[in-house]
């Protein structure tokens, strides 16, 4: 019999990520690092605290690591922060993105954070409410 305080992860068949989850997770990390490089080079590093960047980093972490009780709690918090990428896609602020490929990576970052990451987490069955 399980303790009542433990999170029941028995509904999840595989707690470890599959190769597709890892591929998308590493794409999130690469995009995050590229955006961090852009912000560092243009001396706008403070903008790395925006919800979009945090969500992208959380997506990568959740996609490439094994599911645990702590990460399940992070996932619930993660869903609450999705307003950032959705807002950025609805009302993009592209002023000052002058470096080569910076605008391209802006769109990649926000589509990864808003749709690809969350849908991958839920549809592969390790997180979310889809059975």
* Domain map (residue ranges) of the chain: 19-123
pLDDT digits (tens), the chain, 131 positions: 455 455 555 566 678 899 999 999 999 999 999 999 998 999 888 888 888 999 999 999 999 999 988 998 889 888 889 999 999 999 998 988 889 999 999 999 999 999 999 999 888 888 876 55
CA distance 94 to 91: 9
Q: How many residues does the chain have?
A: 131
Q: Three-state secondary structure along 59-117?
A: HHHHHHCCCCHHHHHHHHHHHHCCHHHHHHHHCCCCCCCCCCCHHHHHHHHHHHHHHHH
Contacts of residue 102, Cβ cutoff 8 Å, sequence gap at least 6: 38
Burial class (CB in 10 A: 0-12, 13-18, 19+), 24: buried
CA distance 114 to 14: 24
pTM of the model: 0.83
CA dihedral over 88, 53, 45, 107, signed as positive or negative? negative
CA distance 15 to 32: 25
């Amino acid at each position: 019999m399980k303790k009542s305080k433990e999170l029941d992860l028995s509904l999840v068949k595989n707690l470890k990520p599959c190769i597709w989850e890892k591929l998308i997770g590493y794409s999130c990390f690469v995009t995050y690092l590229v955006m961090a490089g852009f912000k560092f080079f243009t001396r706008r590093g403070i903008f790395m605290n925006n919800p979009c960047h945090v969500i992208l980093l959380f997506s990568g972490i959740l996609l490439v690591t094994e599911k645990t009780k702590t990460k399940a709690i992070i996932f619930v918090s993660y869903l609450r922060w999705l307003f950032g990428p959705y807002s950025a896609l609805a009302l993009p602020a592209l002023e000052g993105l002058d470096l080569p490929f910076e605008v391209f990576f802006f769109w990649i970052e926000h589509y990864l954070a808003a749709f690809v990451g969350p849908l991958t987490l839920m549809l592969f069955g390790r997180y979310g409410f889809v059975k």
